[in-house]
Amino acid sequence: MEQELISKKELLELTGISYGQLYRWKRKKLIPEEWFIRKSTFTGQETFFPREKILARIEKIKELKDERSLDELAAMFAPDPATVVMTKEEIVKRHIVSDVVLQLLNDELSDRNDVSFVQLLSLYLVDRLLLSGEISMEEGKTIWKMFESHYPKLQGKSCELIVLRKMGVATCFLAEGAVNLYIEEGAKLAVRLHVPACIEELKLKLSEG
């Protein structure tokens, strides 16, 4: 399902910020470049944003900008994934994922206490899909293992997590870039997740801890 967009004009009116502030925050990397979406309209080219994400981000910036510098805010919103390592105890304490997925973490990583960003991201994706009812626990385990095996090859690139289901049997894979999917008759597209958007969500969740 396509995410709801908001135009730049509506965004500025709704949030009360100026054009200059918006682009200054973009330059300082408080707002990701990929959130500035250029689209053709009947008046020409216009800029749109993912509605929920940009409104939540601007609200957070306005709330914190008097307490922290823009550089501090940029670091908070965009931690370097390569440096993120959390212990199982921290994940539990900060409620990064639900108890069900924490059990999966304990089952699959019983011999390790430190969890990397990629491992955490895979757990976060599975947790999100389980909570929405889009996948079963067994499918979640399959997705978790596939993601942990293959995502490192795509790290830093735009990719999508795809889950197809036919006759109750699911197949999952990662697709690099934006791809057109042509699916055989009888198969259903169960999940299509844009991984960079999920990374932004997870980063924000980590920064709020």
Q: What is the pLDDT of residue 115?
A: 81
CA distance 184 to 182: 7
pLDDT tens for the 209 residues of the chain, in order:
456 899 999 999 999 999 999 999 999 888 988 899 998 888 788 999 999 889 989 998 998 888 888 887 876 776 556 567 788 788 878 888 888 887 876 777 666 678 888 888 898 999 999 999 999 989 999 999 899 899 988 887 889 999 999 999 999 999 998 778 899 999 999 999 988 888 878 877 776 65
Residue 183 CB neighbour total at 10 angstroms: 11
Rounded Cα distance between 103 and 88, Å, is: 11
pLDDT of residue 1: 41
Smallest CA-to-CA distance from 98 within 140, 130, 146 is with: 130
pLDDT at 10: 95
- Residue identified by tokens 């993912």 is 50
Alpha-helix residue ranges (DSSP H) falling in 81-136: 88-93, 99-108, 117-132
